[in-house]
Amino acid sequence: MSTTVIDSKKAQQPAAQYSPLKEFWRNYKKKKVALIASVFIFLLIVIAFIGPYIAPYDPYEPNYDAILEGPSAAHFAGTDEYGRDIFSRLLVGTKISLTVSFSAVFLGLIAGTILGLISGYFGGRVDKVIMRCCDVFFSFPDLLLAIAIVAILGPGINNVIIAVMIFSVPSFARLVRGATLSAKENVYVEAAKSMGASHTRIIFKHIFPETISELIIFVTMRVGTAILAASGLSFLGLGASPETPEWGVMLSSGRDYLGTASHVVLMPGIAIFLTVLAFNLIGDGLRDVLDPKIKNS
């Protein structure tokens, strides 16, 4: 009895209108952890937009009568060494951290994808030159490379974006190149070629879509890394200016109070930790759903 039901369902499915988005959603729904992480990130994005309006205090306004106070009803996350409200600073800082990481990753994504497509599609000498350049960049640890770049450009939040972008480019390039190499062997690419389609058309219309699912996974993972790197640079005094409520800056200025008022470092620390964790969990979830190798097993 039951077997027949299943059989009929299976038989019916292809007939129902197939939508990759729907199928993706059906599978993704099952990844509870990733789902929770997604909700968290969604909230974070909302906060990035409305943070400055809902913050209970001015994040820049010092109050020398209330320095280093622990969490209380008046200050949910306590106050820092100038008596500024840490909760308000975290809310306002969300926008900075997310903007920096998203823009760095997307800039890296665009540059890396184009290089990867060119490298994989044309092959030969072009491929060699691009890939060897990437290898040079890979030979430096990410954060070290970023520090060196900021040392050249000078400290500042925009230069942090550039630095994080530059160390993201080679990873994207290599990933896309791999996907391109396998995609260009497809028969439809050959068909397009024989019909006289231009290189640009083949690359963007036929090959690029094949790389998207892998890119999506990688981007999510990369955003987490970017947040860490940007906070790290700010922690070292190479990023945002010291009065900015950027999470890494807050962490850095609070470290002197670790023994006496630990909440000053704890709060931004938790914010960074949760955000990076959430992005990585989403990345894991997406990979489980999108990666054909894992999906089938």
Task: State the residues that interact with other proteins by CB under 8 A.
Answer: 60, 62, 64, 67, 81-82, 141, 144, 147-148, 151-152, 237, 241-243, 253, 255-260
Tell me which amino acid residue 206 is: H
- The whole-angstrom separation of Cα 291 and Cα 284 is 10
Nearest distance, CB of residue 150 and other proteins, angstroms = 10
Q: Closer CB to other proteins, residue 250 or residue 286?
A: 250
* The two three-digit tokens of residue 249, written as one number: 């800056």
CB atoms within 10 A of CB 227: 25
CA-based torsion, 178, 183, 185, 190: positive or negative: negative
Residue-wise over 90-110: b if at least 16 C-beta within 10 A, else e? bbbbbbbbbebbbbbbbbbbe
Nearest distance, CB of residue 61 and other proteins, angstroms = 9
Q: Closer CB to other proteins, residue 160 or residue 217?
A: 160
Nearest distance, CB of residue 140 and other proteins, angstroms = 8
Nearest distance, CB of residue 164 and other proteins, angstroms = 16
Long-range own/partner contacts, residues 59-66 (CB < 8 A, 24 or more apart): 59/84, 59/85, 59/88, 59/89, 59/91, 59/92, 59/93, 59/245, 60/84, 60/243, 60/245
Q: Closer CB to other proteins, residue 29 or residue 255?
A: 255
Comparing C-alpha atoms, which of 291, 142, 149 is closest to residue 227?
Answer: 142
Nearest distance, CB of residue 154 and other proteins, angstroms = 9
Nearest distance, CB of residue 147 and other proteins, angstroms = 6
Q: Closer CB to other proteins, residue 156 or residue 178?
A: 156
Q: Closer CB to other proteins, residue 190 or residue 243?
A: 243
Three-point CA angle 40, 45, 50, nearest 5°: 120
Q: Closer CB to other proteins, residue 212 or residue 258?
A: 258
